[in-house]
Amino acid sequence: MLSLEKRHIKRKKIAQSTCDLFLEKGYSNITISELAQTAGIGKGTIYEYFENKEDIIFELMASLQEEYDEKLHKKLNESISSKEKVLSLFDIFLSSNMKADTQRKIYREFLSIYIHNKTDAMKQYNENMMNKYKIILEGIFEEAISKNEISEMSLLLIPSIFATLQGFFIMDEDRENSNLYISNLFELFKINKNEIRWIK
């Protein structure tokens, strides 16, 4: 019998092997048998590691997120501007490379399931993920505030920043609009806090 660590590794490998199939056919058009065949294992083996299709894409999403986080933390440790750090944080929404395109497509599949048929595990994962990135954004803003680059009131807009960019993402808006949104935010944040009235 495999150890928990080896089971986790095996589970991740199975999920990763199905990525291209999800991208090609979409979650709704795939059967467990097709996923098993793509992974090179029997249908019964799939059920040894996953409860259903939702569980597979959940694991795939988590795996891609690990890669995303590793890249993000390297970028955040570089000597770059606060604006560049924010752009790096939202790379999944803004970049046009193949890796980001893959992450976006899988994230859309995840969101589709999350909206229509979410499990407690998915709900908890999504909440943890959003809280993690909100904390990172708070850190970027707090650093910029300490350097007197932006107003401390910018912290109040963090929830709406996530909601707006996720809205752009779901509606498949041009990524240029998302970049413009962030650029405009930074121009707004430079405004003297005494010149505008913030509603708390």
pLDDT digits (tens, 9 = 90+) for 44-101: 999 999 998 888 988 998 898 888 898 899 888 888 889 899 988 888 777 777 887 8
The identity of residue 135, as a single letter, is I
Dihedral sign from CA coordinates of 180, 182, 185, 186: negative
* Nearest one of 29, 101, 95 to 64, comparing CA atoms: 101
Distance, CA of 46 to CA of 43 (rounded, Å): 5
CA distances from 174 to 85, 91, 94, 112 (A): 21, 14, 9, 20
CB atoms within 10 A of CB 6: 10
Q: Which of 106, 114, 36, 84 is nearest to 186 (CA)?
A: 84
Residues 6 or more apart whose CB falls under 8 angstroms from that of 104 comprise 92, 93, 169
Q: Tokens standing for 151?
A: 């107003």
Q: What is the spatial distance between Cα 46 and Cα 42, in angstroms, rounded to a whole number?
A: 7
* pLDDT value of residue 98: 82
Q: Are 145 and 154 in contact (CB under 8 A)?
A: yes
pLDDT at 199: 47
- CA dist 53 and 82 (Å) reads 39
Two tokens, residue 43: 């249908």
Please give the Cα distance from 181 to 97 (Å, whole number).
20
Which residues of the chain fall below pLDDT 50?
A: 198-199
**In order of start, what are the domains of the chain with their CATH numbers?**
53-195 (1.10.357)
Are the C-beta atoms of residues 152 and 193 closer than 8 Å to each other? yes
Candidates 193, 190, 194, 183; CA nearest to 83 is 183
